[in-house]
Amino acid sequence: MPANSDAIAALTALRASGFKVNADWEKAHEIAQAHEGEPLFDAIHAMLHRIEGDHGNAAYWDRRAGTAFGGAGFDSELTALHALAIRD
């Protein structure tokens, strides 16, 4: 599956999670981990850790991704990540 399809799948799972740690969150996390080192997926990884409340880990992934989407709320962050996914 192409990376952008994986990104859309991860973001769809994130939306389905209701921004809570559950099976959909786990699915998104697995996808992000499978693409470690790719900036979009590292940014998704950052959001996942923000959702779980691990802000230090989220900051680490933001640094790796070169992003700083946190702080505007999960809906806004998801929208920004989706825009990146469909652009690539």
In tens, the pLDDT along 2-33 reads 568 999 999 999 999 999 999 999 999 999 99
Predicted TM-score (pTM) of the model is 0.93
Euclidean distance between CA atoms 67 and 49, whole angstroms: 14
Cβ–Cβ under 8 Å, residues 41 and 64 = no
Q: What is the pLDDT of residues 40-74, one digit of tens each?
A: 999 999 999 999 999 999 999 999 999 888 788 99
Nearest to 61 by CA among 81, 83, 85: 81
Looking up tokens 């969150």 gives 25
Query: What one-character-per-residue DSSP string does 9-50 give?
Result: HHHHHHHHTTTSSSHHHHHHHHHHHHTTTSHHHHHHHHHHHH
